Amino acid sequence: GAVVSQHPSRVICKSGTSVKIECRSLDFQATTMFWYRQFPKQSLMLMATSNEGSKATYEQGVEKDKFLINHASLTLSTLTVTSAHPEDSSFYICSADSNNYGYTFGSGTRLTVV
């Protein structure tokens, strides 16, 4: 089956610093990847759609300058949370469409901003 690898699984950072999260499709090419945020006991909320070689498309209410997305290759998309604050603490999850296997999700990144 299709595998999406996401790193790191957990990260703690100080308020005001930036954090980069990587999402890799291991055995397929992903023209499009998706980034979600999930607060405790809530559903997944789509933040942005990451397109290889072009600018990401952000959902309404998501600050593109705060959540920088780079999709430089067909197997890698990165999400950088810039100038992180405690309210950015959340579970961030990426996914990719693997054609034959539907939307495959990464294992998620628990971000804690202190």
| Residues found near other proteins in the complex (CB under 8 A) | 4, 6, 31-32, 34, 42-44, 46, 49, 93, 95-97, 101-108, 110
For residues 15 and 112, which CB has a smaller minimum distance to other proteins in the complex? 112
For residue 85, the minimal CB distance to other proteins (Å) is 23
Nearer to other proteins, 17 or 103 (CB): 103
Q: Say which residue the tokens 């998309």 belong to.
A: 77
Shortest gap between Cβ of 98 and other proteins (angstroms)?
10
Which has the closest alpha carbon to 47: 64, 70, 25, 72? 64
Spatial distance between the Cα atoms of 90 and 30, rounded to a whole number of angstroms: 25
